[in-house]
A = this chain, B = another copy of it.
Amino acid sequence: MRASIITIGDEILIGQIVDTNSTYLAKELDALGFEVVEIKTISDKKVSIEQAMASQVGTVDLVIMTGGLGPTKDDVTKKVFCDFFDDHLVMNEEVLAHVTVLLENYFKKPISEINKQQGLVPSTSTVLFNSVGTAPGMLMQKENTVFVSFPGVPFEMKTIFQEQLVPYIKEHFKGVFNIHKTIITYGIGESLLAEYLEDWENNLPSEIKLAYLPSPGKVRLRLSSRGANQDYLLQSIEMQIDRIPESARKYIRAYEDIDFPEIIIKELQIRNKTISFAESCTGGRLAVMFNTMPGSSSYFKGGIVCYATESKVDMLGVNLDTIYKHTVVSEEVAIEMATQARLKFKSDYAISTTGNAGPSKGDSDEEVGIVCIGIATPNGVFAKKYQLGQPREKVVNSAIAKGLELIYNEILKK
């Protein structure tokens, strides 16, 4: 069960958009037991698509293609399918009826000739009905390789995949499982972690593959295995995780692939505690991180983005004297911000940020990169000052990481 993904689109080849469709498809195919051996982005030229398709025949069982199915001139996938499978286009009445109803309801006028063409499909293809848009998907087979084509609009691609292709896959491809288990470590570098894990790694059974995924401040360890017996695979990975030596284990923050905000949210939920934010240089990003998931109102009380100095005074209630005496980027102001946020939002914990993310100096005389973070808890309040370098994006992201690390340690304290 090998699969590949082909994305058609010049907009990806010139770096205008990020290819998130492939990420979605790769994850879903992996969960369905496929080994995704290649993801390829190519131009929407006819010859590029033909070459890419030809290279997959016989090497994989399933090829999923996205893009090039719209109503405009730059969309050529259907023509390529006809040539590649020696077929011709015919009007599919069911698709045409669907497109007609959809567009005439929307535009309140008869459907155009361009849009009627969306009902054309290769005569021997299996049509993958698009319940949420106009361009249908299609499925055709050459030798033992199944080719599937989806429109590139993510919402439509996902809907057709789930509604039409998943049932087909479950019927035609089964019996193999991919198991991945990801462990999150914070506060240790990749190479030191690899040193601590060297003996353990050397003793892993050959069917378990280990990967290191480093990012700033964090290393993810992924253990993967593949086979027919799902329970055995799971148990075998769990057994190895139990054997991770204490030198490395103490840096583990989660045994699943979640981000730091989610780790903190879990700790808040266990304790039935709430959090709020008073953000200057992080501009609301902390608040957003804590209200992305459903049910966030049980632990997230709110936040204020007090970007202008006067809003720190007027809305949050920071003392103007404190700002005059210590400047707006100071531990003293960070302490008052966190204290006020915790009081006013009636939360158990609060994080505040005030700093100069650059590129030029703001309301403060502090140099670019200086950030003060305040932490208010039921046990008291404190602040820390950091020089987080530059550019702006890095300062903001580092401030968020520091704030999360500080509050995490406080929440874990009794």
A371 to B44, CA, bound (A): 39
Task: Please determine whether A13 and B40 come into contact, CB atoms closer than 8 angstroms.
Answer: no
Interface string of A22-61 (1 = CB under 8 A from B): 1111111110000011111111100010000000000000
Task: Please determine whether B302 and A307 come into contact, CB atoms closer than 8 angstroms.
Answer: yes
Task: Please determine whether B305 and A153 come into contact, CB atoms closer than 8 angstroms.
Answer: no
Q: Known contacts being A297-B308, A302-B307, is A15 close to B19, with CB within 8 Å? A: no
A83 within 8 A of B: no
A382 within 8 A of B: no
Interface string of A290-324 (1 = CB under 8 A from B): 01101111001111111110110011000000000
Chain A interface residue count, CB cutoff 8 Å, equals 100
Task: Please determine whether B302 and A304 come into contact, CB atoms closer than 8 angstroms.
Answer: yes
Chain B residue at minimal CB-CB distance from A194: B72
Task: Please determine whether A212 and B39 come into contact, CB atoms closer than 8 angstroms.
Answer: no
Task: Please determine whether A222 and B288 come into contact, CB atoms closer than 8 angstroms.
Answer: no
Whole-angstrom distance between the Cβ of A277 and the nearest chain B Cβ: 8
Whole-angstrom distance between the Cβ of A214 and the nearest chain B Cβ: 6
Chain B residue at minimal CB-CB distance from A113: B195
A115 to B191, CA, bound (A): 7
Task: Please determine whether B27 and A23 come into contact, CB atoms closer than 8 angstroms.
Answer: no
Whole-angstrom distance between the Cβ of A75 and the nearest chain B Cβ: 8
A247 within 8 A of B: no
**Chain A, 1-30, CB within 8 A of any chain B CB:** 10-20, 22-30
Q: Known contacts being A191-B114, A284-B305, A303-B305, is A70 close to B363, with CB within 8 Å? A: no
Provide the residues of chain B in CB contact with A285, threshold 8 Å.
284, 288
Task: Please determine whether A358 and B307 come into contact, CB atoms closer than 8 angstroms.
Answer: no
Provide the residues of chain B in CB contact with A215, threshold 8 Å.
153
Q: Give me 26 A-to-B residue pairs in the complex whose CB atoms sit less than 8 angstroms apart, sorted by A's number.
A: A11-B211, A11-B222, A12-B22, A14-B26, A14-B27, A14-B30, A14-B36, A14-B180, A15-B36, A16-B180, A18-B20, A40-B40, A72-B194, A74-B209, A74-B212, A134-B191, A284-B285, A284-B291, A288-B288, A294-B360, A294-B392, A297-B363, A300-B307, A302-B305, A305-B305, A314-B346
16 additional A-B pairs beyond A16-B180, A114-B195, A302-B308, beta carbons within 8 Å, are A10-B209, A10-B211, A11-B211, A12-B22, A14-B26, A14-B27, A15-B36, A18-B18, A18-B19, A18-B20, A37-B48, A70-B212, A283-B288, A294-B360, A302-B307, A311-B346
